[in-house]
Amino acid sequence: MENSSSSSIVSTESEKNSVLNLKETELRLGLPGSDFLGKKAGTGISLFGKDLKNEGNNGFRQIPLKNLVSGAKRVFSDAIDGSGKWGFSMKGGSEVDLGNGGSENTNALQSCLAGPSGKEIGNPNPAKPVEEKKNENNSTAPASKAQVVGWPPIRSFRKNTLATNLSKNNVVEEKSGLGCLYVKVSMDGAPYLRKIDLKTYCSYAELSSALEKMFSCFTIGQYASHGLPGQEHLSENCLKDLLHGSEYVLTYEDKDGDWMLVGDVPWEMFTDSCKRLRIMKGSDATGLAPRAMQKCKSQS
Amino acid sequence: MDPKLKKTKDSSSNSANSPDSTHSSFPFPDEVLERVLSLLHSHKDRSSVSLVCKDWYNAERWTRTKLFIGNCYSVSPEIVARRFPRIKSVTLKGKPRFSDFNLVPQYWGADVHSWLVMFAKVYPFLEELRLKRMTLSDESLKFLATSFPGFKALSLLSCDGFSTDGLKAIATHCKNLTELDIQENGIDDFGGGWLSSFSENCSSLEVLNFASLSSDVSFDALEKLVRRCKSLRILKVNKSISLDQLQQLLVHAPQLIELGTGSFQQELTPWQYEDLETAFSNCKNLQALSGLWEATSLHLPVLYAACASLTFLNLSYAALQSGELAKLVAHSPNLRRLWVLDTVGDKGLEAVGSSCPLLEELRVFPADPYELDLHHGVTEAGFLAVSHGCRKLHYVLYFCRQMTNAAVATIVLNCPDFTHFRLCIMNPGEPDYLTNEPMDEAFGAVVKTCTNLRRLAVSGLLTDLTFKYIGKYAKNLETLSVAFAGSSDRGMQCVLQGCPKLRKLEIRDSPFGNAALLSGVEKYETMRSLWMSACNVTMSACRLLAKDMPRLNVEVMRDEGSDDRQADKVYVYRSVAGPRRDAPPFVLSL
C-alpha cells in the first residue's frame, strides 16, 4: 500500500531525537523528502532513479502518482537541492511544508528540476553537513539560519584547529581498520572496474555524483542502443538520464557477503559495512528494488 | 606609641603641601622607603601606594620595574616614560576582548611600535615584553630584537600582524633569551626555520612555547637546543613533532615542569612505546601537560606514570571519549585544572567528579560549535556531576547546548566558592529546556550564593531579572559578558548602578539602548572599558557621553550599510591620553 505520508510524520520528524539510531533505520512510509528535517545530511540516496533515502524512510518511498505521470522523474536533483541537503527544498529554503499535499510537491519537484540539477552536490568539507544539519534541525526557524558572527565565543585558533583535527581524526580512525576505505566498483557491462575511497564522501549524494562521473563513459554506448526517445545527441548527462530512468541500481556487498541495496542505512553504517559496490542492471536487480523494476518496465 | 613615629605621620600628611620639608622630617631616607616598596609586586598594591602622598608616589615610581597596562590606549608612551624611569618588564593589552571572536575589524589598532620606540629610548635595559591582543609587525620584532641587549622574555598571546620572520629576528639577536612564548596568534607561518636561528651559544632558554605554529621545525635544531638549555622548564612543541621525537626530547629534559606534546598519533614499535613510557615516567617534576593532538586510547597509557604529579591537564585539543578521559583522570588525583573537549560527554565528566577531588578549574570546549544536534557534547548532568565531586571548584568555562535553572542552583550550592562562572549555552536565547522558562534563576542563584564572584558570563534566554539579580548581589563582580540577553534598558542600568567593582562590561546583541548607556555616565571612569555591539545605541547618545565626559574615549564603529544614526559598535574607555591619534577611518572618535 502506497500512501502519502501525512504531515504528522513531518512533525514527529522535526522533534529532536534522542534515540537516533533506532529512528534512522525505522521502517516508515512517507513522502520523499519528508524525513529530512532534524537529520544528518546525506543519508539518503537518490541515484539511479530510485527513491531517496531520507533517514527513516526505508525503501518504499512514495512518489505521488501524478509526478510519475507528468514525467517528472525522480532525478538526482529532486533529492538534493543545490546545497546538498536531502529531501525536497523549495527555492532557497530548507523547510518544506508537506502538509499541503500533492500540488506543493509537484511544484517542489519542478522547481528542483529547474534548479541546479547539474550542480556539484555536497563537498568533502565536514563543516558543510554540519551547517546543513543546523538548517534542517530547526523546522520552525527561518529557512537559512546563518551562523552568527563570533558565536559561540571561541577563538579562531581553536576553531580552526578543531576543524582540521576532527577531519583528520576521522581519517585516522578509518585507517586503523574500522570499516572499508577503498572499495571496488563494478558496473555491469563495463570492461573494467574502478576503485573509490568511501572516506572521501560523507553522503550518498556525493557518492552518487562521483559514480555518475566515473561511469558516464560506459553508458554512452548503451544509452544510444536503448534509443530513448527525445534525445538526439549524447551529453554528459546521459548517464544520469539513463540512471534516472532507473535502468541501473546501485548495490553493495556487505561484511556478511550479502548484496544490499544502497541507501537503506545511514551513511556511516553503510561505509562501515560496505566491501564493494556494483552498479547492477535493472533487469538483474530483482528482489532488491521492486519499484525500480516497475518503473523500468513501465518505461521500456 | 613612639612619638618620633607619630611626628613622622603628621609630617607625612603635610608632605603634599611642602615637598621639600618632608625630606628633613621624614626619619627614613628615601632609599629605605624605596627598598621597602621595591618588595611590592602587585600593580594594584603599587597603585594604592602611589596615592598615599607625594613621597610615596615618587618612591613608588622609582622602584617600579614591572609595568602593567590593561588598555594600551588608556595612557600614552610619553606619559609612561615621564613617570617611570626604571622599567624592566612590560605587559600591554590592546584590543577589546571581543576581537577574539572577529567582532573587531582588522587594522583597528593597538600597534605596539610606538611603544617600542619609546622603550628603546627610555628603557634600554628592558628585559620582558608580554603582549595580549596587540598588533605587531616583523619590523617591530626586529626592532625589539636589536634595541635591547638584555632582552630576555617575549610572550605574545592573541596578537597579529607578524610572521615567523619576526620570530627569526628574535631568535637570532636575543642572545640571553630565557622565554619565547607564542600563543594563538594570527600570524603568517612561513616555515619553521626560525627555530634554527637560535645561536649555538644560546643555552639560557627556560620557556619555549611554539605549540600554535603549524609548520615543521628542524628537529635536529630543536633537539640540540633542548639539550643545551639545562634550565628549560616549560617546553610546548607543535604538531610537527612526532611521538618518537618527543621521546628523544624528554630524555634530554626530564626536569620539565610543563610539557606540551606534539602529535600524539603515530605507529610505534613496542620498543618505541616502552621508551616513551619510560621517558614520561622519568619526568618527576611534570605539573602541566598539554598538546596531545589526535591522542587516542592507544597511546594515552604512556602518560599514566607522569599523571600522578600533574596539576594541570589541557586536553582541549584531543577529542577524547568518556572512557579514555576516565582512565586518564583516574591516574591524576592531584589535578587542579582540567581543560577538555565536550567529546568526553557527561560520562567523562562524571569520571572527573569521582577522580579529582582537588579540582579547582574546569573548562569544557565544544568540539563542534556549530552542531545543533543535542546528543553531542555535554549537558547539565556533566556539570552537576563535577560539582558533586569537586567541591573546591571555583573557575568554570562550560559550553553546552542545554541547561536548567535547577541544575545551576544545585551546582552553586555544591560549589559556593566560584570566582569565575562562564556558562555558554550555545544556542542564543535558549530557555531552561525542562521548564521552558528563562535562565534568570540560574544566574540569580550564582550571584546570590557565590559572594566572591569576580567574573561572570551569562547566556540562554534571559530577561532583565537576571541583571537585577546581578546588580543586587554581585558586589565583587569585575567582569561581565552579556550576549543575546535582557529585555530593556533597565537590565543594564541595574548592573551599572549595582556592581561597585565592575571594571569590564562587554555586551553584544542585547536590547540595551541610550538610556542604559547614559545611566553609566559616572561609572565608566571607574571602569577599564565598556563594549556594546549590536545593541540599540545611537550616535547622538554616544556624542552626548563623549561631550560630558572628556576623560572618556568614546569610539564608534559602524557596520556597512547600516543607518547613519545607529552606533553599531561602541567602545568606551577611560584615558589620560586623550582620543586616539592612530584611529583608522572606520573608528569614529567622538
Range with lowest mean pLDDT among A95-99, A171-175, B275-279, B385-389: A95-99
Average pLDDT over residues B470-475: 97
- B556 DSSP β-pair partners: B570, B588
pLDDT in tens, B110-120: 999 999 999 99
Rounded to the nearest 5 percent, the helix, strand and coil shares of chain A are: 40, 10, 50
- Burial label for B334, CB within 10 Å (0-12, 13-18, 19+), is middle
- ipTM score assigned to the predicted complex: 0.87
pLDDT grade, residue B148 (50/70/90)? very high
Report the range out of A53-57, A171-175, B119-123 with the highest average pLDDT: B119-123
pLDDT in tens, A253-264: 888 888 888 888
DSSP state of A52: -
**Percentage of the residues of chain A whose pLDDT score is greater than 90:** 2
In one-letter notation, the amino acid at residue B425 is: I
User: Cell numbers 608580554 label which residue?
Assistant: B130
3-state secondary structure (DSSP) of residue A62: coil
Range with lowest mean pLDDT among A51-65, B100-114, B131-145, B523-537: A51-65
| B511: pLDDT strictly greater than 90 | yes
pLDDT the model gives residue B306: 93
Name the residue with higher pLDDT: A122 or B268: B268
> Is B398 in the A-facing interface, judged by CB distances under 8 Å?
no
Name the residue with higher pLDDT: A106 or A189: A189
Put simply, the answer to whether A150 touches B428 (Cβ < 8 Å) is: no
| Residue of A151, A154, A156, A175 best to disrupt the B interface, most CBs of B under 10 A | A151
> Is B367 in the A-facing interface, judged by CB distances under 8 Å?
yes
| A96: pLDDT strictly greater than 50 | no
| B109: pLDDT strictly greater than 50 | yes
Put simply, the answer to whether B426 touches A152 (Cβ < 8 Å) is: yes
pLDDT in tens, B187-227: 888 888 999 999 999 999 999 999 999 889 999 999 999 99
The residues in B 195-224 lying below 8 A from A, measured between CB atoms, are 212
Shortest CA gap B125–chain A (Å): 33
pLDDT the model gives residue B561: 80
Total Cβ atoms within 10 A of residue B551: 11
pLDDT in tens, A121-137: 333 333 333 333 333 33
User: Cell numbers 542563584 label which residue?
Assistant: B445
Beta strand B552-557 with B569-574 is: antiparallel
Put simply, the answer to whether B373 touches A150 (Cβ < 8 Å) is: no
Name the residue with higher pLDDT: B334 or B564: B334
Q: Which residues of A touch B371 (CB under 8 A)?
A: 130, 133-134
Q: What is the mean pLDDT of chain B?
A: 92
> Is B102 in the A-facing interface, judged by CB distances under 8 Å?
yes
| A228: pLDDT strictly greater than 80 | no
pLDDT in tens, B516-533: 999 999 999 999 999 999
pTM of the model: 0.69
List Cα–Cα distances, B206 to B216, B235, B344, B529, in angstroms. 22, 8, 33, 35
Name the residue with higher pLDDT: A1 or B146: B146
pLDDT the model gives residue B355: 96
Structural element, H or E, at residue B186: strand B186-188
pLDDT the model gives residue B519: 95
Q: Cα B237–B191–A124 angle (5° rounding)?
A: 85
3-state secondary structure (DSSP) of residue B135: strand
Nearest chain A residue to B399 by CA distance is A152
Per-position DSSP letters for B350-390, written without gaps between them: HHHHHH-TT--EEEEE-SSTT---TTSS--HHHHHHHHHH-
Range with lowest mean pLDDT among A51-55, B169-173, B346-350, B432-436: A51-55
pLDDT the model gives residue A246: 56
Q: CA B456 to CA B448: how far, in whole Å? A: 13
Grid cell of B148 as nine digits? 635591547
Name the residue with higher pLDDT: A244 or B127: B127
Q: Which residues of A touch B101 (CB under 8 A)?
A: 149-151, 153-155
Put simply, the answer to whether A166 touches B293 (Cβ < 8 Å) is: no
pLDDT the model gives residue A15: 44
Average pLDDT over residues B457-461: 97
pLDDT the model gives residue B268: 87
| A220: pLDDT strictly greater than 60 | no
**Alpha helices, DSSP H, located in B415-571:** 440-449, 464-473, 489-498, 514-519, 539-548
List Cα–Cα distances, B82 to B11, B115, B123, in angstroms. 27, 13, 11
Average pLDDT over residues B501-530: 96
Q: CA B153 to CA B126: how far, in whole Å? A: 10
Grid cell of A212 as nine digits? 555518475
| B296, B319, B371: residue with CB nearest A130 | B371
Name the residue with higher pLDDT: A45 or A183: A183
Helix B54-63 to helix B30-37 angle (10° resolution) is 60
Shortest CA gap A145–chain B (Å): 11
pLDDT grade, residue A249 (50/70/90)? confident
Size of interface A-B (CB pairs under 8 A): 85
Q: CA B69 to CA B55: how far, in whole Å? A: 23
Tell me which residue of B90, B110, B95, B31 sits closest to B63, measured CA to CA: B31
Contact A30, A61 (CB under 8 A): yes
Average pLDDT over residues A223-227: 45
Tell me which residue of B148, B17, B13, B71 sits closest to B503, measured CA to CA: B71
pLDDT grade, residue A29 (50/70/90)? low
Tell me which residue of B69, B93, B88, B95 sits closest to B80, measured CA to CA: B69
Put simply, the answer to whether A150 touches B365 (Cβ < 8 Å) is: no
| B123: pLDDT strictly greater than 60 | yes
Range with lowest mean pLDDT among A36-50, A213-227, B363-377: A36-50
Distance of CA B556 to the CA centre of its chain: 25
pLDDT the model gives residue A267: 83
Q: Which residues of B touch A152 (CB under 8 A)?
A: 366, 369, 399, 424, 426
Q: What is the mean pLDDT of chain A?
A: 55
Grid cell of A180 as nine digits? 572499508
> Is B264 in the A-facing interface, judged by CB distances under 8 Å?
no
Average pLDDT over residues A196-212: 84
Range with lowest mean pLDDT among A14-23, A85-94, B432-441: A85-94
Q: Which residues of B touch A16 (CB under 8 A)?
A: 373-374
pLDDT the model gives residue B265: 86
Shortest CA gap A36–chain B (Å): 14
Buried b (16+ CB within 10 A) or exposed e, B216-236: ebebebbbebbebbeebbbbb
In one-letter notation, the amino acid at residue A138 is: N
Q: Residue by residue, what is the 3-state secondary structure of B442-483?
A: HHHHHHHHCCCCCEEECCCCCCHHHHHHHHHHCCCCCEEEEE
Q: CA B279 to CA A235: how far, in whole Å? A: 64
